[in-house]
A = this chain, B = another copy of it.
Amino acid sequence: MTSVFDHPWLGGLFRDDDIAAIWSGDAQLSHMRAFEAALAKALEACGKVPAGQGELAAHAIDITMIDMNALAQGTTRDGVPVPNFVKQLRAAAGDAAAAVHTGATSQDVMDTALALTLRKTSDLLTGRLTALHDALSELKRTQGSHDMMGRTRMQAAMPIKTAHRIDAWLRPINGHIQALSTLRPQVECLQLGGAVGDGAAFAGQRDDVATHMAHSLDLTDANNWHTDRTAIADYANRLSLISGTLGKFGQDIALMAQQGIDEVRLSGGGGSSAMPHKSNPVLAELLVTLARYNATQISGMHHALVHEQERSGAAWALEWMILPNITAATARGLSAANELCEKIEDIGCRES
**Chain A residues in contact with chain B, CB under 8 A?**
1-14, 19-20, 23-25, 68, 71-83, 85-86, 101, 104-106, 109, 149-158, 160-161, 164-165, 167-168, 171-172, 175-176, 179, 186, 194-198, 200-201, 224-225, 227-231, 233-234, 237-238, 240-241, 244-245, 247-248, 250-252, 254-255, 257-262, 268, 270-275, 278-282, 285-286, 288-289, 291-300, 302-315, 317-318, 320-322, 324-325, 327-329
Given the known A-B contacts A13-B75, A195-B158, A293-B318, are A2 and B281 also in contact in the complex, defined by CB atoms under 8 Å? no
Max chain B C-beta neighbours (<10 A), residue from A2, A238, A261: A2
Is A78 a contact of B11 with CB atoms below 8 Å? no
Nearest CB of chain B from residue A13's CB, rounded to whole Å: 5
Nearest CB of chain B from residue A153's CB, rounded to whole Å: 4
Question: Which residues of B are found within 8 Å of A233, using beta-carbon distances?
Answer: 241, 244
18 further A-B pairs in the complex, CB-CB below 8 A; given A109-B273, A152-B195: A8-B25, A9-B75, A12-B71, A13-B75, A77-B282, A78-B271, A104-B274, A106-B274, A157-B195, A158-B195, A171-B228, A227-B248, A230-B241, A233-B244, A251-B308, A254-B314, A293-B321, A303-B303
Nearest CB of chain B from residue A96's CB, rounded to whole Å: 17
Question: Which residues of B are found within 8 Å of A320, using beta-carbon distances?
Answer: 4, 10
Given the known A-B contacts A273-B106, A280-B155, are A285 and B101 also in contact in the complex, defined by CB atoms under 8 Å? no
Kindly identify which residue among B9, B179, B285 contacts A317, using a CB–CB cutoff of 8 Å.
B285
How long is the Cα–Cα vector from A304 to B305 in the complex, in angstroms?
Answer: 16
Nearest residue in B to A297 (C-beta to C-beta)? B296
Given the known A-B contacts A224-B171, A254-B314, A328-B2, are A157 and B275 also in contact in the complex, defined by CB atoms under 8 Å? yes
Chain A contact residues: helix, strand, loop or mixed? helix
Nearest CB of chain B from residue A342's CB, rounded to whole Å: 14
Nearest CB of chain B from residue A47's CB, rounded to whole Å: 21
Kindly identify which residue among B12, B165, B300 contacts A292, using a CB–CB cutoff of 8 Å.
B300
Nearest residue in B to A1 (C-beta to C-beta)? B24
Kindly identify which residue among B1, B8, B68, B311 contacts A153, using a CB–CB cutoff of 8 Å.
B311
Given the known A-B contacts A75-B12, A296-B322, are A258 and B307 also in contact in the complex, defined by CB atoms under 8 Å? no
Is A293 a contact of B298 with CB atoms below 8 Å? no
Nearest CB of chain B from residue A217's CB, rounded to whole Å: 19
10 A–B contacts from the bound complex (CB under 8 Å): A4-B321, A78-B272, A152-B272, A153-B278, A153-B311, A154-B280, A175-B186, A176-B230, A293-B318, A293-B321
Max chain B C-beta neighbours (<10 A), residue from A85, A172, A255: A172
Is A72 a contact of B12 with CB atoms below 8 Å? yes
Question: Which residues of B are found within 8 Å of A238, using beta-carbon distances?
Answer: 234
Is B153 a contact of A312 with CB atoms below 8 Å? yes
Given the known A-B contacts A244-B302, A254-B154, A322-B296, are A78 and B328 also in contact in the complex, defined by CB atoms under 8 Å? no
Given the known A-B contacts A78-B280, A302-B298, are A321 and B289 also in contact in the complex, defined by CB atoms under 8 Å? yes
Is B318 a contact of A292 with CB atoms below 8 Å? yes
Max chain B C-beta neighbours (<10 A), residue from A152, A176, A286: A152
Nearest residue in B to A21 (C-beta to C-beta)? B1
How long is the Cα–Cα vector from A52 to B99 in the complex, in angstroms?
Answer: 74
